[in-house]
Structure 1
Amino acid sequence: MRLKDKVAIITGGASGIGRETCRLFAREGAKIMIADLIIEEANKVANELKAQGHQAIAKKVDVTSLDEANRLAKFTLDKFGQIDILANIAGGS
């Protein structure tokens, strides 16, 4: 459990590489903040992780907005008390 007691924000965590990163980091012991525009899919990932005994929260966030990114950081700190890892996987065009 290399990430035990670490907190990871994973943008784009609802699908693809982001979802797999959430799963991997959770298996390694991290608490997961899933940030994605598609909250329904992010909630599915969070619920999957919680069902396996991991700590995970999904939050709808547009990471192209500085204000929303700042709110995400504050929300994560409020919920978990720290931020150790940022996996910036969200894609956009």
Structure 2
Amino acid sequence: MANTPQSKKRARQNERRYDINKARRSRIRTYLRKVEEAIASGDAEAAKNAFLAAQPELARGVTKGVLHKNTVARKMSRLAARVKALSA
């Protein structure tokens, strides 16, 4: 348990940051799910639009420190390949 004033403040900050990051991760997962569902339905146009909407969310996750840069790069690359294959 936090004892010093500094450690108490850090505990409060960590709780706030945890809630914010949790909301960000949830938002990113929602965008990814929309892309996955569009790919599964076979609708190339919807998949492309969903992917274009998901890209900035994923990038924002990197800049905010929620996800690692390479993880996002891998996810975007794989999704882009699947969307491209769907339209071809």
What TM-score results when the alignment is normalised by the length of structure 2?
0.32
What TM-score results when the alignment is normalised by the length of structure 1?
0.30
Higher relative contact order at CA 8 Å, sep ≥6: structure 1 or structure 2?
1
Which structure carries more helix by proportion? 2
Which structure carries more strand by proportion? 1
